[in-house]
Structure 1
Amino acid sequence: MISRAGCRTRWSSPPRSSRVSTDPSIPFRAEAHALDAADPLAALRDAFVGAETSLVYFDGNSLGRPPRVTAERLGDFVTAEWGGRLIRGWDEAWMELPFRIGDRIGRSVLGAAAGQTIIADSTTVLLYKLLRAALAERSAADPERVEIVVARDDFPTDRYLVEGIAAERGARVVWIEVDTARGVDADRLRAAVGPHTAVVLLSHVSYRSGYLADAATLTRITHDAGALVLWDLCHSAGSVPVDLDAWGVDLAVGCTYKYLNGGPGSPAFAYVAERHHATLTQPIQGWMGAADVFAMGPEYRPAAGMRRFLSGTPPVLAMLAMQDTLDLIEDAGITAIREKSVALTEFALRVSDGILSPLGVTLASPRDSGERGGHVTLSHPAMRSVTARLWASDVIPDYRDPDGLRIGLAPLSTSFAEVLTGLGAVADAVRAEH
């Protein structure tokens, strides 16, 4: 494992003149080699299944590679805990897993003090719970607050949930129009909120463009309008530093199968600031969120603290894998992870400028690294067909309308040489489509 001290290396790029060549592959190969040699997190790549193969994986922001030790963890659980302890496991450990792992995520990834984060349901279900609870609380305090604010280009689930909850509760949706190559900024949010706003749903990193929102400023603008803010952290948790407590965030939800490598369909996390525990009533009242879980009482009484935001039986098996990546994040530190993430995306942009721009490929993400998360989107009219060609040759990005090839670079498992190989394949595929 790598020490924290080893993670303090600052990334530096070669002088711009070294990147200019009539044959761009030669200096980029040298640069990739130099960056990998200087990478303080390079050894962590070997911790992931498949990193030793020639496959290029540009989709770690959709589904992360599994850590090698996860297979052993899952096997041990089946034979020793599940097989050995059977139902005793609930009393001995499993009932507390949503809180124990939630607190680890809060501490390592979210900037959240203990007792405010849980692992529970899918991202969709948790967003529904917290969004509906926030709307109900604000509307009860002020019946004029009946508006939910959301960006027109947010992830479909977020938008669909807002529309459904608004219809269910008789609320109104206020849409923020955004540039699809960017996201919500302070001016756009100020224009959308007002005395009728109940809750604002925002994405920390835009799923399409990778735009990194100024969470502290947008949270403050929301509060100045008297509303609550709910942050979607799906594309930032584990890749971009988050500081929910310091930012004054009310609520947040994020998935665990991207940069936390929890596996396909692994359960999401929910953050609720402690000041809201007693006032928010979540709408899916299940037995696991009751004050006395095993009383089996005739009526529902919500538990204190974060337990009240649980509904059904915790998905124990599905919570196991993410712990191995949390080990790596805690060892490396989120600051070093962000530094490598920026270095990876900066390198990807230099390579794109050198070998893809001459082919008509344009950038559909912010160029400023301070406004960009862990992925970049490249645009070209042939990108849908290009994506199919790449998948057939074991280069795995994903496609997003309109005409976008999304390059997701997971700092713990992606090398600079892999970035160069993959973007070279993109160039070949674009040429083949001409």
Structure 2
Amino acid sequence: MLRRAEPERGSLSNWKLLFEALNQPDATPGPEIRWLQLWAELDGDNANAATSKAVTDKSLPEWLRTKAEILKQKHDKEQEGKMADKNKPDSDPKDAQKKTAAIEDADSMAAKNGIYIHLLQPLEDLAGQLTGLPVEADMQLYVGGAWDAHPLPSGRAEEKNGELKKWSATSLDSKKEIKFGPRLIAQLTEMIQFSDDGKLISIPEESRQSPDGIRMVARSKDGIRVLFDLRLIPINKVSKPIFTQVIESSVDNTAAITLRLPEGFLKRLHGAGQTGGCSLRHDGAAAYQKVYELRATGDSTFTVLPPQAKTTSGDNRAQIKQQISELEAGIRKDEADLAKNEGSNAPARIKAENKANYEKAKSDKAIKIQALQAQLQSMEGAPTPMHFKLDPGGYTLLLGQPNMIELCKLNVVPAVPSSQSKPSNP
């Protein structure tokens, strides 16, 4: 049995007990005991010496020699790797740090870098308009259409279509400017230029007029950190979401309606050249679309405000109360006119006619007041609206006024209890 196959792991003690039970010189299988001892040594601290001995011993079973050969090859390869590392010149500590550091993903909704959004007007001159970009003198720059992706740098010679392409840093004419071109030798009109204090100085005219807009992702010299993500969107493209990813978010309907986005997402957004806050549009057929106003309550949460209730009934109540007030003022004036008429020196016939007119006017107003009071009472008893809640489903997050930029699509799910894990983005 031991000659045909390797014993099960952990069975060595059982085999020893078997051989001790036999304990007869003629029946004791001496070679098998030696095989088991060598087999145990291959898994022990002395494995290297045991493998060297086993691979040359033809009397051993085939499975034991094969096992020893595999272990010897593994050991030899490890030794070769150690010798190669030893013979290498001392590596730069920065290179070692680069290998161990995690490369930041600009396309991840969980990233930390700022996202700068600007709506391009026709014939707009961008010189000096965009400021405060966190540039670095030796940074890398990736450029493409506003909706192009930016996969993690992989060292490929060429990026695929639909991906940002790495531009070349050109020689600096001045220490105050940072320049990039589509190739190492480029005309000034083809370059993207930044000032050293974070101002966008110029972009190529072709890029500015492109219907696809322009996206720039700046990385640190080693390519690990994302410095900023700048997106210049043509004004006529605002109906297309800026972010192509569908972001999973959660809603808590227990008290104030709270919409939660990926942590820190709102804090990352800058600019957009708009005024006003954010809105939420329920996707679907136009007849069923609703727009909810949002109030930011943190760097990743909104309070969802209920849809504006129809104010027709409220406006009507106010109008009715105003009419009653005006009629009551009219009655007081009629009473004053009656008293004045009684004390006047006018002929009796005139006084009688005036009295009749004033009393009729007073009576008509009183009748109208009674009718309006009855109408007001019926309206005051109308049922109050039901509690508002935000249903799970597909929504679009809209940014700013008056153009209502489509920022991204949301898949809204119910919030899980705090004791459970929250939904995360893939």
| TM-score normalised by length of structure 1 | 0.21
Q: Which protein, 1 or 2, shows the higher relative CO under an 8 Å CA cutoff with sep ≥ 6?
A: 1
- Bigger CA radius of gyration: 2
Name the structure where strand makes up a greater proportion of residues.
2
Give 1 or 2: higher helix fraction. 1
**Under a length normalisation based on structure 2, what TM-score does the superposition of the two structures give?**
0.21
